[in-house]
């Protein structure tokens, strides 16, 4: 099964800046989800975007999906130190399964 590829692998920014991470994939999807993982903890669901949607917002999060380019981006605006975590995209296909990428490690410096 396909796996999403996040880019960059690591990102370091200052508090207050915006953070953008990307996810690319190779075959068709039904939906794409973004998750956050704090060090030593489980993953937490952030946002889900379906293949017929182009953009979704949730608080300081903005997700876009371009199915023609097979890519998605997650934008976190006005980053805080508490946003420091790993962020994963997960691909939902025609079955029940989710396939996770390897993640982007975001560090927000105070």
Site mask for another protein (CB under 8 A), range 71-110, x = bound:
-----------------x-x-xxxxxxxxxxxx-------
Contact 45, 105 (CB under 8 A): no
Nearer to another protein, 61 or 98 (CB): 98
Can you give the length of the chain in residues? 110
Contact 78, 66 (CB under 8 A): no
Q: Is 61 in the site for another protein (CB under 8 A)?
A: no
Nearer to another protein, 15 or 46 (CB): 46
Q: Is 3 in the site for another protein (CB under 8 A)?
A: yes
Nearer to another protein, 17 or 102 (CB): 102
Q: CA separation (Å) from 53 to 40, 45, 50, 95? A: 33, 18, 5, 19
Q: Is 44 in the site for another protein (CB under 8 A)?
A: yes
Q: Is 30 in the site for another protein (CB under 8 A)?
A: yes
HSE-CB for 48 with a 13 A CA cutoff = 9
């Amino acid at each position: 099964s396909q796996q999403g590829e996040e880019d960059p692998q690591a990102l370091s920014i200052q508090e207050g800046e915006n953070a953008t991470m990307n996810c690319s994939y190779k075959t068709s999807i039904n939906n794409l989800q973004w998750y956050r993982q704090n060090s030593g903890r489980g993953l937490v669901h952030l946002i889900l975007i379906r293949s017929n949607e182009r953009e979704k917002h949730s608080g300081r999060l903005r997700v876009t999906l371009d199915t023609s380019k097979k890519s998605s981006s997650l934008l976190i605006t006005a980053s805080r130190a508490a946003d420091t975590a790993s962020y994963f995209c997960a691909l939902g296909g025609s079955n029940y399964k989710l396939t996770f990428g390897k993640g982007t490690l975001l560090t927000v410096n105070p």
